[in-house]
Structure 1
Amino acid sequence: MNIIKTPIIPPRQQFAKVEAPHELDKKAICIFAATGFFLDTDTYFQNQKVLPPASENSMDENGMLLKSTPWFKWHYSPRNISFETALDEFTQLFETIVAEQANNRPVILPLSGGLDSRTQAVALHEQKAEVHSYSYSFAGGFKEHHISAQIAKTCNFRFQPFIIPPNYLWQVIDELANINGCYSEFTHPRQMAVLDDFKKMQGSFSLGHWGDVLFDRGVGKKEAHLPELEILYKKIIKKGGLALANKLWIQWGLEGSFEAYLKERLEALLNQIDIDHKGAKVRAFKSLYWAPRWTSVNLSVFEEAHPIHLPYYDNRMCAFICTLPEEYLADRKLQIAYIKQRSPKLAKIMWQAQKPYNLNNYHKNKAPGNLPYRISNKLQREGNALLGKKYIQRNWELQFLGMENDEQLQSYIFNPQFHSFVPKSVVTEFYNAFKTQDPVTYSHPVSMLLTLSVWYANNRP
């Protein structure tokens, strides 16, 4: 018998067999189509499951799951401590984790215009680590790497900018399918465009995933009055995803309605979380079911090049979060205070989410003070549009728009063999809606159809 203990937030999926028919789990696939990730322990097949987070799992020599027992449960037990004490504790814990993970070896640090990687940059700079940093921007999009370059320069890190080009997906789609098992749609992992460059670097990755969830309010102010189920339902359903899931549910002749099934699943999972505080409960749900099944899936791309470390995934960090008052986590207070205290120079660099403001003056990002920048930015985008320069904001725009992309896309989703799984009428409906109605809304369904087509070509039952 084999015992596998999973972390509180698993960085990779581990599969096990269960007693069930070896048949497609079409209900699970409908949820995947709607949200972009599989829920709970679901997979493509009924007799295969993913080991749950924070659990001890007994398996036989054939990989059959015998028993699964939780060893940690998310909770909300805020201590009566000052913000200064919380900041001191965070500083010590975070820098300890980062130092242990770096282990006096070279570190590869993805930098962005946000706070998670900037917080890592502070810790690594404090430790005088050897860091090779990089950032990427979309061709024709916001030059995020300009902010990252300033951070790297301030910390004396080596820095390498990447521009994600159009059409890269079709050269790497088979490799990506092999890496992530088609458990995520293909337009998100832009790191695939520079995987060969990653392999030339030296060191291990320090990745900032999930910091923005742990260190922010669990529920936004505008949705605080809503029930947890409604909040989560709205958050996980992608634009156009519900329409695709409903259509597949009907085409596959599944009992009841997709929406009722999804809400029933979500409510059952929520009821298992013994937390009364709404924000903390939603954060726990995301960490249990969203992080392992969406965020973690494409970490495997980084692992193709080098080992990965995730300071925000660390078990100690998750346990620490459960003991902090929600007000200290809200609005990124701890990370902002940490950066301002440890590195005032980094605090002065633009925060992309609050551009053109920084960590010292972002509270001014409201009308009328921010109107000059907003007007100037809009005029610049409109001017570029008149010159035929499209402003790229999303990866799918690089991979789905234009004649070359369209030919490649059609070759996958209009493959006759795929239509024995997803009827051609469904594919045609959503493809036409993407092309003629609303590409923003229907990019997700088209991307999911592409993902399912590649999966089905390699895994036909």
Structure 2
Amino acid sequence: MQLKTPIIPVKQTFAKVHAEHELHLEAICVFAAIGFFLDQDTYWKDEVVLKPASINIIDEKNKLLETKPWFEWHYTPRDITFKQTLDEFSELFETIIKEQTAGKKVILPLSGGLDSRTQAVALKRIEAEVFSYSYQFENGYEETKIAKQIAETCSFDFKPFTISNGYLWETLDTLSELNECYSDFTSPRQMGIYDAFDTMGNHFSLGHWGDVLFDSMKLPQLSKEEELEVIQQKLIKKGGMTLATKLWETWGLEGEFKSYFKARIENLLNDIKIDDTNAKLRAFKSLYWAPRWTSINLSIFSAKHPVSLPYYDNRMCEFICAIPENYLEGRQLQIAYIKKRAPKLAKITWQEQIPFNLTNYKWNKTPYNMPYKIGNKLKRIANQTKGKKHVLRNWELQFLGENNQIQLDNTFEKLNTDNFLPKSFIEDVLQGFKGSPSSETAHAINMLLAILYKLK
């Protein structure tokens, strides 16, 4: 059997290889460090995930016999003006959206950013039937306000949601089955409204990966050593190196985790034949980050309705490879597209540049943004005096507070397996978080939850 994978796969496709059926402990350490499995790694040594943009020969026992690429990321910028680029993008994007959503009742998640707003413009132009929604954290930033304005301007049906404190514990079993424990459990906020998807429509149009394809990392041209350092810094989660190193040492693996990880990343970077630093690192993220992190929790959507992703489309990836890098910096193409096609949407607040919008965001600097900053700080202080802690991150909603602490203790007690990790190891991680709740200690909780759930 022959299987051809997309440039950015929507889901993982597993195959068997010749190896012992045992835990791939080195791969699990990488997972603990960066939050996703690297390249073709899985939990098991005799199982792999098919590479993106590859043609694979698989036998009747699902064993991988041969694999070869059909597409390789490149940077071949054309001699083209920005206006020509914008015209090409506009036509391509609207063509993809139209093909993906024709005859369907589209469900559009809206945020205060640019990717879903760009989709909204295209869906409005092709007169699609759209149900839109947005969500925000309980006691978090009121993101749904911006989304509601976008929906109203486009005349879309719209519903706001609030992701409640501690929703995770009631959905953990379902979520672990959907993402197969290849991601942490607090990142996919959509799980908090999972049942509401049933009556919204019959097809998701999702805006994932637009922010990577249509922006630059704004880096100067770097040496290979500098590129390696930069990508490692971007990959490693806060607290990730500490957790991975402890696991490595607990399992008595050969050498040091840091050296192993560096060598893996260096080999993967060297395989990308692109000289331009920004284009090369975008290719790296699209090869490894998108399919092994971003795509994992798309399973939550696809369990309810079919999904399509315009930015994942093969034609969009090929288009990006031929665009001059300076046209991508600062989200220029998306901003120009929205301003040209839907000027009213351009005047709605851009969440990344609050309180400014797409027409005046360049004024988001001192002293022009000081009134907003002062007012926002005073509002947070007022909420804190009322006992309302401002929620910024997913883990705060799920791990902080007395009830969440009880749920954490009970969950880890059920998952504890001495033959995999000593009970003392898990207790140290729990006590580390309880003694000092932070992004670093919460990351360790997140990763151990996923790992232990997979192996329970």
Give the counterpart letter for 2:111 in structure 1: S
Give the counterpart letter for 2:200 in structure 1: M
Give the counterpart letter for 1:402 in structure 2: G
- In the TM superposition, residue 232 of structure 1 has moved relative to its aligned partner by 0.8
Give the counterpart letter for 2:366 in structure 1: A
Which residue is equivalent to 1:375?
Answer: 374
**1:191-340 correspondence to structure 2 within 5 Å:** 191-217=190-216, 219-221=217-219, 227-340=226-339
Is structure 2 residue 26 aligned with structure 1 residue 34?
no
- Aligned residue for 1:134, secondary structure, equals strand
Give the counterpart letter for 1:38 in structure 2: F
**1:65-144 correspondence to structure 2 within 5 Å:** 65-144=64-143
TM-superposition CA deviations, 1:159-215 (whole Å, max 9, x none): 011100111111110011111100000001111111110012222000000000000
Contact 2:219 2:277 in 1 (8 A): no
- Aligned residue for 2:455, secondary structure, equals helix
Give the counterpart letter for 1:230 in structure 2: E
In 2, Cα distance between equivalents of 1:79 and 1:196: 46
Contact 1:414 1:427 in 2 (8 A): no
- Aligned residue for 2:300, secondary structure, equals helix
Contact 1:53 1:288 in 2 (8 A): yes
- Aligned residue for 2:107, secondary structure, equals strand
In 2, Cα distance between equivalents of 1:181 and 1:26: 17
Is structure 2 residue 14 aligned with structure 1 residue 15?
yes
**1:152-167 correspondence to structure 2 within 5 Å:** 152-167=151-166
- Aligned residue for 1:227, secondary structure, equals helix
- In the TM superposition, residue 416 of structure 1 has moved relative to its aligned partner by 6.9
Give the counterpart letter for 2:67 in structure 1: S
Give the counterpart letter for 1:125 in structure 2: K
Which residue is equivalent to 2:411?
Answer: 412
Is structure 2 residue 429 aligned with structure 1 residue 434?
no
Which residue is equivalent to 2:184?
Answer: 185
- In the TM superposition, residue 426 of structure 1 has moved relative to its aligned partner by 2.0
- In the TM superposition, residue 412 of structure 1 has moved relative to its aligned partner by 2.3
Unaligned runs of at least 5 residues, structure 1: none
Contact 1:433 1:439 in 2 (8 A): no
The alignment's TM-score, normalised by the length of structure 2, stands at 0.98
- In the TM superposition, residue 94 of structure 1 has moved relative to its aligned partner by 0.2
Find runs of 4+ consecutive structure 1 residues off by over 4 angstroms.
221-226
Q: How many residue pairs end up in the alignment?
A: 455
In 2, Cα distance between equivalents of 1:420 and 1:240: 24
CA RMSD of aligned residues (A): 1.3
Larger CA deviation: 244-253 vs 440-449: 440-449
Contact 1:223 1:231 in 2 (8 A): no
Contact 1:54 1:70 in 2 (8 A): yes
- In the TM superposition, residue 222 of structure 1 has moved relative to its aligned partner by 8.4
- Aligned residue for 2:418, secondary structure, equals helix
- Aligned residue for 1:419, secondary structure, equals coil
Is structure 2 residue 394 aligned with structure 1 residue 395?
yes
In 1, Cα distance between equivalents of 2:328 and 2:265: 25
Which residue is equivalent to 1:446?
Answer: 445
Give the counterpart letter for 1:86 in structure 2: T
- In the TM superposition, residue 438 of structure 1 has moved relative to its aligned partner by 4.0
Contact 2:32 2:447 in 1 (8 A): yes
In 1, Cα distance between equivalents of 2:453 and 2:200: 30
- Aligned residue for 1:418, secondary structure, equals coil
- Aligned residue for 1:250, secondary structure, equals helix
TM-superposition CA deviations, 1:262-302 (whole Å, max 9, x none): 11000000000000000000000000000000000000000
- In the TM superposition, residue 422 of structure 1 has moved relative to its aligned partner by 2.0
- Aligned residue for 1:414, secondary structure, equals helix
In 2, Cα distance between equivalents of 1:188 and 1:292: 16
Unaligned runs of at least 5 residues, structure 2: none
Contact 1:412 1:453 in 2 (8 A): no
In 2, Cα distance between equivalents of 1:301 and 1:150: 26
TM-superposition CA deviations, 1:6-32 (whole Å, max 9, x none): 000000000000000000000000000
> What's the % identity of the aligned pairs?
56
In 1, Cα distance between equivalents of 2:186 and 2:416: 23
- Aligned residue for 1:420, secondary structure, equals coil
Contact 1:108 1:131 in 2 (8 A): yes
- In the TM superposition, residue 221 of structure 1 has moved relative to its aligned partner by 4.3
Give the counterpart letter for 2:100 in structure 1: Q
The alignment's TM-score, normalised by the length of structure 1, stands at 0.97
Contact 1:115 1:351 in 2 (8 A): yes
